[in-house]
């Protein structure tokens, strides 16, 4: 069998504490042979996502904590290299949850074939994967932007936020992003087609956001929380809709936010809903079909940050939590 290399969770950073490279451990051992009803997948790309930080803590949440001493959870795309499963053949390209490793065993659960097309295989971890479907659901099922309304999205150039803004524009809304740095803000406007983008690093964040949202905010797709949410909360219109996708500002530090004081929701009669996209699996085919249609029509763009080699995964992940990535964060494994 080929040699498998991967990353284990060696220790927990603790709630509100920063994760470090010491929390991870590299392993190397022979890949396992597939048993009856299983396949062996050679992973080509690994997806790194903010939700992984929450799984590192042993705290009650919407999903079980990442076990210590086991391969870090993570989405992957790759190729079936050995199969004892009737629905998968050697050579099939697949997307699943192979984790932070070169080879993974699957019984077929959460494993989907990728039909051959001109779209790069790693897109099934981004714009055509969990981030893209997350954006689609939050925009179309929670915020439901109407023509002429204003939708604001934080982490606007990330894997989710970049799709959110483009879907808002497709619905006829005004799209305003919040991102870190002039380069990202320029990309949001000049390449993704946002109407405006505000740098969250600026000292006058609220004043910049106010100028970018002269008619207030009707929809907020929140990926960050903290000061980004606080600024947006002051711009909400009556009956605004808020989709809470992530709160990355609080993943590494215990940062206070207006999210703990929901008077603004009462005063503005706003709808606020948190959501986890895996609760809505029946809608994935529709979402993926619509996203693929936009890509085929040249109306949906994306960008990737790619680290090389499984050894680079911990550093790339820690950089993601600090906003160092530009677009979808991937690790190229082959």
Helix (H, G, I), strand (E, B) or coil at 203: coil
Per-residue pLDDT of the chain (334 residues; tens, 9 = 90+): 899 999 999 999 977 789 999 999 999 999 999 999 999 999 999 999 999 998 999 877 778 899 999 999 999 999 999 999 999 999 999 999 999 999 999 999 989 999 888 889 999 999 999 999 999 999 999 999 999 999 999 999 999 999 999 999 999 999 999 999 999 999 999 999 999 999 999 999 999 999 999 999 999 999 988 889 999 999 999 999 999 998 887 777 665 565 666 778 888 899 999 999 999 999 999 999 999 999 989 999 999 999 999 999 999 999 999 989 999 999 999 8
Q: How crowded is residue 178: how many other Cβ atoms within 10 Å of its Cβ?
A: 32
Tokens of 151: 């939708």
SS3 letters for 115-146? CCCCCCHHHHHCCCCHHHHHHHHHHHHHHCCC
**What residue spans in the chain does CATH classification 3.40.50.720 cover?**
130-278
The pLDDT value given to residue 188: 97
Q: Which of 8, 54, 128 has its CA nearest to residue 276?
A: 54
CATH class of 130-278: alpha beta
The pLDDT value given to residue 291: 96
CA 150/CA 49 separation, integer angstroms: 27
- pTM summary value: 0.91
- Angle at CA of residue 85, ends 80 and 88, nearest 5°: 45
The pLDDT value given to residue 106: 97
Burial 140-170 (b: 16+ CB within 10 A, else e): bebbebeeebbbbbbbbbbbbbbbbbbbbbb
The pLDDT value given to residue 99: 98
The pLDDT value given to residue 117: 83
* 26 beta partners: 7
The pLDDT value given to residue 226: 86
| Tokens 């530090």, residue located | 253
CA 210/CA 231 separation, integer angstroms: 9
Residues 6+ apart with CB under 8 A from 44: 76, 77, 78, 79, 121, 122, 332, 333, 334
Homologous superfamily (CATH) for 3-126+303-332: Medium-chain alcohol dehydrogenases, catalytic domain (3.90.180.10)
């Amino acid at each position: 069998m080929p040699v498998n290399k991967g990353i284990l969770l060696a220790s927990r950073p603790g709630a509100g504490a920063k994760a470090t490279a010491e929390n991870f451990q590299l392993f190397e051992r022979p890949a396992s042979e597939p048993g009856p009803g299983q396949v062996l997948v050679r992973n080509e790309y690994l997806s790194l996502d903010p939700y992984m930080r929450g799984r590192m803590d042993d705290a009650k949440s919407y999903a079980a904590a990442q076990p210590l001493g086991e391969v870090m959870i993570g989405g992957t795309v790759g190729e079936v290299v050995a199969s004892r499963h009737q629905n998968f053949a050697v050579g099939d390209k697949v997307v699943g949850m192979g984790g932070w490793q070169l080879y993974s065993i699957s019984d077929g659960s959460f494993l989907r074939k990728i039909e051959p097309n001109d779209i790069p295989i790693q897109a099934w971890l981004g714009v055509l994967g969990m981030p893209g479907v997350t954006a689609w659901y939050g925009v179309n099922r929670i915020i439901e932007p109407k023509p002429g309304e204003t939708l604001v999205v934080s982490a606007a150039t990330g894997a989710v936020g970049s799709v959110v803004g483009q879907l808002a524009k497709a619905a006829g809304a005004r799209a305003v992003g919040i991102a870190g740095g002039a380069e990202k803000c320029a990309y949001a406007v000049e390449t993704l087609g946002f109407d405006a983008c505000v740098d969250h690093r600026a000292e006058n964040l609220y004043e910049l956001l106010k100028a970018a949202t002269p008619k207030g905010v009707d929809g907020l797709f929140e990926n960050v929380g903290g000061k980004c949410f606080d600024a947006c909360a002051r711009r909400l219109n009556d009956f605004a809709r808020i989709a809470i996708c992530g709160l990355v500002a609080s993943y590494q530090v215990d940062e206070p936010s207006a999210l703990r004081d929901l008077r603004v929701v009462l005063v503005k009669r706003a709808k606020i809903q948190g959501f986890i996209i895996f609760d809505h699996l029946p809608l994935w085919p529709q979402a993926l079909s619509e996203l693929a249609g936009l890509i085929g029509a040249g109306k949906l763009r994306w960008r990737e940050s790619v680290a090389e080699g499984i050894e680079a995964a911990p550093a790339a992940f820690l950089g993601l939590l600090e906003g160092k990535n530009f677009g979808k964060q991937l690790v190229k494994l082959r």
